[in-house]
Structure 1
């Protein structure tokens, strides 16, 4: 693959926890193919956006597309460099070995939530979607005392394995391959939300050519199998 001349150049990026595993694998593959390193910091999405807005020295950022839109509106990224990387779905999990509720339909998920002890979700797009669902169903007040929102950067899977929640919702990519939990299934189609994760170069970028080459690689078919291995689909 001819994405970059073999070099000791290192590009730096920042992204949310939802893409942590995928970006790590893509960075490894890119270095193997080109010799160019990609060092990526993974934090909560809100924190990642704040750091880009503050002008920290990152070459690129990978976040949910709406967050990328806000960064573009603020002049923090180059909108012309933007590429869509992956599509992500929300899944439901319980502690390993715990009884698994029926989640095959919208009504089944609503009933599972009403019957659950503590319910966990994140500060990211999946959490925002869940809160809207609760309001739409008219159950937000009824379950308010049982809601546990994971702090930024803390996976919902950690809340489950620590016994802090009984039923957890988050991007499938963040729940996969985590010991101590069982994935019950995805949200059913009627209430599923698909989050598109996008990448763009930052205003504070230093390595323009190599950064653009890495973004091209992340959006290329060469990266598709890695995305699928970690619960996402190519964008």
Structure 2
């Protein structure tokens, strides 16, 4: 067999083998890191030939779906959510940490950006808004509501608050139906029609973590393990940073 033909044949056989082994993974993910997760999953698809059915929701809803029996291969969520699923023997431990992000503020594109650089300035910005969106059931939303109590403005803010579903938390600002949104900063990334204002004041800041776990009933466990390793590897750090996630490494 001629050397050139042998090389071509080998390459072709490898390609056929790769296609034959390509599988589809179902990934259930919390809504916070959606921009980073979408990009990393797209990179994984390109490098492996596997396909990913990627579905987002707020963390408590993702957990409830899994507890109700929804099938999946990989879950991406806040560490306490993944840990709870491990404890319930629905996810294989230990979890793989991916990164974290703080809370941020965004306004409609072109709108004046309020001063939020201090606690007092942030309070004034909130109280001057007619409507403030936040994730009604998400970890960042729960924390934001607790901050209003801590700042002593919960009663004044109550009529201004717009608790939103996961898929509409930031988009409602782009449509002009809320003046600003307070949410984990990664959720603002890549949403058209909004401008990020910046992080909330450091004195009030918290960090929302992101981690991945393997389903105990994964249909494609080896490919799922490869995806989890890809998401949590040092090589993912640049993409995570570009999408607003501070890598755990």
The normalised TM-score by structure 2 is 0.86
User: Does 2:214 match 1:201?
Assistant: yes
1:34 is matched with which residue?
48
Instruction: Tell me the residue number matched to 1:12.
Output: 26
Indicate the residue corresponding to 1:49 in structure 2. Answer: 63
Which residue of 189, 193, 196 corresponds with 1:183?
A: 196
Which structure: larger Rg? 2
Q: Confirm whether residue 74 of structure 1 aligns to residue 88 of structure 2.
A: yes
2:22–2:48: 8 Å Cα contact kept in structure 1? no
Partner of residue 119, structure 1:
132
Q: Deviations over 1:124-155 (max 9, x none)?
A: 1111111111111221111111111012x223
Tell me the secondary structure at the aligned position of residue 143 of structure 2: helix
**Aligned counterparts of 1:56 and 1:148: Cα–Cα separation in 2:** 29
1:89 and 1:194 in contact (8 A); partners too: yes
Aligned length: 229
Q: By how many angstroms is 1:161 displaced?
A: 1.8
Alignment RMSD: 1.7
Measured in 1, the distance between the counterparts of 2:245 and 2:223 equals 25
Deviation per residue, 1:189-213 (Å, 9 max, x gap): 1111111101001132122222111
Residue 163 of structure 1, CA deviation: 2.1
Q: Which residue of 2 aligns with 1:137?
A: 151
Partners of 2:35 and 2:189 within 8 A in 1: no
Following the alignment from structure 2 to structure 1, what is the Cα–Cα distance between the partners of residues 167 and 54? 17
What are structure 2's unaligned runs of at least 5 residues?
1-16
Q: Which runs of 5+ in 1 are unaligned?
A: none
Q: Residues 155 and 174 of structure 1 are in contact (CA less than 8 Å); yes or no, is this contact kept in structure 2?
A: no
